[in-house]
Structure 1
Amino acid sequence: MQKVIIAQIAIQQGKENDFLKLALEMVKTSNAETGCITYRLHKDLFNEDNYLFYEEYIDSKAVDAHNNSTHFHQFIKDITPLITKKPIINIY
């Protein structure tokens, strides 16, 4: 069954460029994964420090492969100092 993940990220003011550099590379790498249908980054129109990742995968195995990937773990490590609160992640 197809899976959708929506992850909301709040970035420290002044750290947007650092985040975007990492996030755009994450989007590129994730979109190349087997089982990834789409992986997109969106900026909140009403709060300039908030971003949203919209992810679609063919099934739970593809989500697991993404979540266990080296690039995912490195991304989380790299953005952790840039965020202001715990991300909100919903899986559908």
Structure 2
Amino acid sequence: MTLHVVAEFRAANGQEDRLRTALEAMIEPSLAEPGCLIYQPYTDPNDPSRMVLVEEWTGPDALDEHFTTAHFFHVRDVLAQILAEPMVIKRLVAA
């Protein structure tokens, strides 16, 4: 079962570039993980403080493994310092 993840972020005032950089830095190491199929951040063109991360994983086990990696722990710590509000993570599967 392919698992789709949509994560929504809102940077604190003045932290927009740090948010973009942090999410972009996650692309390469995440795609190198065995279960990661897609890992793509997007910026809202009308509000640069808002970003959405679209991910696709081979299943929930692959995503759970992602949450144990060093690069995830690093970005989690960075996000704790720069987000204006808690991130929202949605896990989705095809109907």
TM-score category of the 2 structures, normalised to the smaller one: over 0.9
Structure 1 residue 45 displacement after superposition: 2.3
Structure 1: state its 5+ residue gaps: none
Q: Which amino acid aligns with 1:54?
A: V
User: Which residue matches 1:49?
Assistant: 49
Structure 1 residue 64 displacement after superposition: 0.8
In structure 2, distance between residues paired with 1:19 and 1:11 = 6
Question: Is 2:27 the counterpart of 1:27?
Answer: yes
In structure 2, distance between residues paired with 1:43 and 1:63 = 23
In structure 2, distance between residues paired with 1:9 and 1:18 = 12
Question: Is 2:89 the counterpart of 1:69?
Answer: no
What secondary structure sits across from 1:39 in the alignment?
strand
User: Which residue matches 2:10?
Assistant: 10
Question: What value does the CA root-mean-square deviation take over the aligned residues?
Answer: 1.1
In structure 2, distance between residues paired with 1:75 and 1:63 = 15
Structure 1 residue 37 displacement after superposition: 0.4
Q: Which amino acid aligns with 2:77?
A: K
Aligned length: 92
Structure 2: state its 5+ residue gaps: none
Identity of aligned residues (%): 22
Question: Is 2:38 the counterpart of 1:38?
Answer: yes
Structure 1 residue 88 displacement after superposition: 1.1
* TM-score when normalising by structure 1: 0.92
In structure 1, distance between residues paired with 2:20 and 2:49 = 11
More strand by share: 2
